[in-house]
Amino acid sequence: MTQADPRDTRGRVTRPAGPLLCLETSCDDTSAAVVNGREVLSSIVSSQNELHAQFGGVVPEVASRRHTELVNEVVAEALSTAGVGWDELAGVATTQGPGLIGALLVGLAAAKAIAYRRRLPLVPVNHLQGHIAANYALAVEAPFVCLVASGGHTLLAVIERGVEYRVAARTMDDAAGEAFDKGARLLGLGYPGGRELDELAAAGDPSYARFPRAVARGRDFSFSGLKTALLYDLKGRDEAEIEAHRADIAASYQAAIVNQLVEKTLACAAAEGLRRVAVAGGVAANSGLRRALTARSEAEGLELSLPPLGLCTDNAAMIGLAAGFLPAVPWPDYLALDAFASDSEARAARPKKSRRPAASEPPGRRTRR
């Protein structure tokens, strides 16, 4: 810790200055990164996709066990790739939620153990704030509208400053990632499906099949009707036709999802009077979405932030980028932190204020209270 570190009234570090070791294990990717401010020094992601493909979805218990097997290895690789030693770390950051509770607990426990052992502060980060913060690897500055589209969430966030946001619109049913994954399954593609559908769509004609375009009314998204439309479209075709036109159908289906995402995002920016637009989450890796947003933003004279693909899908670097805007919990108070599965549980997971010094605190700290 340097003299420049901001400290709370007890002299404890609340905003660590220097490299942070970051962890993200909220779903099925075991990820660690080293981030210093807005600079990503390393980002390691070990995907469990192959493990879960046989079940057609993430099996929470299997994911948790795999995280415990991989976490130390991934942390070691993140440090060595960054060329940062244990003694150079200024703090640890980890996803606290939302996500799969068992999976989150593995990352949180590892982060607590590392931070406690090295007497470092710990920054608990909300996964969605992490996705949004991926944009801070680029030159973007708040305020901006961010389309957050992943496997579990789809919403339009108005970022007022740092990673503080207000939800301007959300999905009324499925998340955009779910629409991609369920569509991919109906088309007989691989798991989880979004990327596979994207690749297949690249060779297809988006005007081949007709799917409902952006729902005109309201700010919110809806994808469940689209998925049903694909199901009935496929039922109306014979096997040979599907076989010959799988790429065209995929391209048409993707275009309908993209159209809704793009139009609602631009409408939100206009309604909010904002000229900066950003994207986040796994679906932000979609090539059709990136192309359409680029074209429409140019036409409308909007500034667009498109994070690199590796910062769109789940990764620990985005957690570190968000941590730069959030207060750290000082050593060793974070030992009381809990993970939370959904946003509504976040409040209950906040650390309780300890009224007397923890027995494990070093004498130096105890005298300052």
Pairing, β 276-280 against β 164-170: unpaired
Separation between Cα atoms, residue 154 and residue 339, nearest integer Å: 22
Question: In DSSP terms, which residues pair with 159 in a beta bridge?
Answer: 144, 165
Partner from ligand KG4, Zn ion, none binding residue 285, C-beta < 5-8 Å depending on class? ligand KG4
> What burial letters (b/e) apply to 301-332, b meaning 16+ CB within 10 Å?
ebebbbbeeebbbbbbbbbbbbbbbbebbbbb
Q: What is the dihedral of CA 59, 186, 306, 309, to 10 degrees?
A: 50
Exactly one of 150, 252, 260, 305 binds ligand KG4 (CB under 6 A); that residue is: 150
Question: CB of 218 within 8 A of CB of 231?
Answer: no
Among 45-53, 176-184, 218-226, 232-240, the segment contacting ligand KG4 (CB under 6 A): 176-184
Q: Which of residues 188-207 bind ligand KG4 (CB under 6 A)?
A: 192-195, 198
- C-beta of 174: minimal distance to Zn ion in Å? 15
Can residue 181 be called a binding residue for ligand KG4 (CB under 6 A)? yes
Tokens of 118: 């090295």
> What burial letters (b/e) apply to 256-286, b meaning 16+ CB within 10 Å?
bbbbbbbbbbbbbbeeeebebbbbbbbbbbb
- C-beta of 296: minimal distance to ligand KG4 in Å? 18
Separation between Cα atoms, residue 267 and residue 156, nearest integer Å: 11
Partner from Zn ion, ligand KG4, none binding residue 195, C-beta < 5-8 Å depending on class? ligand KG4
Q: Which of residues 308-367 bind Zn ion (CB under 5 A)?
A: 314
Distances (CA, A) of 165 to 148, 224, 273: 11, 26, 16
Among 174-182, 220-228, 349-357, 359-367, the segment contacting ligand KG4 (CB under 6 A): 174-182
Can residue 313 be called a binding residue for ligand KG4 (CB under 6 A)? yes
CB proximity list for 352: less than 8 A, separation 6 or greater: 336
- C-beta of 99: minimal distance to ligand KG4 in Å? 8
Q: What is the dihedral of CA 327, 333, 336, 342, to 10 degrees?
A: 0
Contact track, ligand KG4, 271-310, x by CB under 6 A: ----------xxx-xx------------------------
- C-beta of 311: minimal distance to Zn ion in Å? 11
Can residue 150 be called a binding residue for Zn ion (CB under 5 A)? yes
Partner from Zn ion, ligand KG4, none binding residue 330, C-beta < 5-8 Å depending on class? none
In the complex with ligand KG4, the residue whose CB is nearer, 121 or 282, is 282
Q: Which of residues 10-49 bind ligand KG4 (CB under 6 A)?
A: 27
Give contact residues for ligand KG4 (rule: CB under 6 A). Answer: 27, 150-152, 177, 180-181, 192-195, 198, 281-283, 285-286, 313-314
